[in-house]
Structure formats: structure tokens, C-alpha cells
Structure 1
Amino acid sequence: MTSATAWPSQAETWLDEKGKGAWIAAMVLGFIFFWPVGLALLAYMIWSKRMFKSKSRGGCRAHSHRHSHGFSSTGNSAFDAYKADTLSRLEEEQVNFESFLERLREAKDKSEFDTFMDERAKKAQSPKNTDKDAPIEL
């Protein structure tokens, strides 16, 4: 490889070593000095998935230590048990409250429907006085 073709690879390696911030800085500088360079760097970062890579590789290891609620262990088993109990109690309260709200909405809907039907029945029972039925006076 000649030095003319090796510098992009070297620059890429150097930016990778510095992290995502270096890539973003290079892109911003590219936009400032010559916008097509910034646009090309942005396209390359998206195409090569450099924008979405995380610096830490310990994501799988941290995930294995998580409880069912998605929180990591603190190392204190008493606190972790208390936290799990509290979260499950709060989830149960949320389910009960949502159930209560649903029953409340159903009761309100039933009340409104009963009121509507009562008003409709009253209108049907009341005598209809229209101008057509009135005698014509001469």
C-alpha cells in the first residue's frame, strides 16, 4: 500500500482509537471548512455504523446481572429483595388502579347512557304540540 492510499486507513484507525467524539469533531470540522467533507464523513459514520457503536463492550455481562425489573444488582441482597418487593407491589397497585379507572369509566358511560334513555323516554311520552295540529283561525 502506498502512503497516498494508506492515510485514510491510518486516519480511520486513529479516530477509532480516540472514540466517537473524535469522529464527531472531524465531521464538524469538515462541515466548517468544506461542507462536502463533513457530509461525506457523516454518511461514512452512518454507513459503517460508527455513530451507533458504544465504547464499552461489557453490555452482555452487565445484562446478565439484572433482575426481572431491569435494574442491576447493588450487591446488597437485603436491599435488592426490598427493591424487588417494592417494585412488584407498585406494579400490582398500578394494575389495581387501572382496573378501578376502567370500572369508573364504565360506570360513567352507563350513567350517561341511562340519562340519555330517560330523556328520550320523557320526550316520547310528552304530548306533541306542533303548529300543524293547531286549528286555523280566520
Structure 2
Amino acid sequence: MKSNALIRPAWTPATIALMIIGFMLWWPLGLAMLAFILWGDRLEAFRTDVNGATDRVVAGWRRAARSASAPSTGNVAFDAWRDDELKRLAEERRKVEEMREEFDTHMRELRMARDKQEFESFMAARRERKTVEHEKADQTGDLAGGAYAG
């Protein structure tokens, strides 16, 4: 089959120019273009093989996931009991997760209250310290002012 495409796996002026430019820019690009020129006609078969292999692997994963989620024992009564128990356990898990979230919220509120109390204590001590320093400055300033006035 003869192809008239500009870029095809053959020694055409376009592919040779792209290979040379590829080597000049970054050698792996030139090497990739050379590989395309030499083995590009096999690319379609390779792609088909890879797609088929990938499809088989994914189908295997899907089968494994279906069988692992609820393998049937053949006993309908046991399978029904097991499904009910799994649902009950899922509900218990949901309740435990809700309780954990509530506890996390409670602990966050306690930390916030403790931090607020510590901050208010710091601010009260700071205000007290500023008041004492201000009073000392006033007393010192009054004495100094009185000495110069006299």
C-alpha cells in the first residue's frame, strides 16, 4: 500500500528534515523520528497488540473486583445473612465516623476556649504592665518637672 501522506514511515524529505531537526533540538527526538522511519509501519500492529493486552488486564481487574466484593457461596440464605451483616457493619462504621467528627469538633472548641482564655490572660497582664509603666513614667516625669520649675 502506497501512502501519499507527508509524514509517513519512509525516507521522505519531510521525515529526514524532522529527524535532523530532532537531533539538533534534543537527541531523543531525532532518535524517535529515526525509529518511526525504520519501524513505523509496524506501529499499527504494535498499537493493536498493546490495546488488546490492556483490555484483557482491565477486564481481569473488573472480574476480580466483582468477585471480591460479594462472592456467592451458593447458599442463598447465607448470602442474604452476610449481605445484611455487611450493611449493618457499614451503618455502624458510619455512626462511628459521625461520632469521631463530633469529638473532633468538641476538641477544636475546647482548644479554642483554652487559647482564648490564655490570650485574654496575656492581654490583661499586658494592660496591667502598661498601666504600671505609665504610672511610673508619670511619677518620674512629675518629679523631674517639679525640679526644673523650682
Normalising by structure 2, we get a TM-score of 0.46
Query: Structure with the greater relative contact order (CA < 8 A, sep ≥ 6): 1 or 2?
Result: 2
Which of these two proteins has the greater Rg computed from alpha carbons? Answer: 2
Normalising by structure 1, we get a TM-score of 0.50
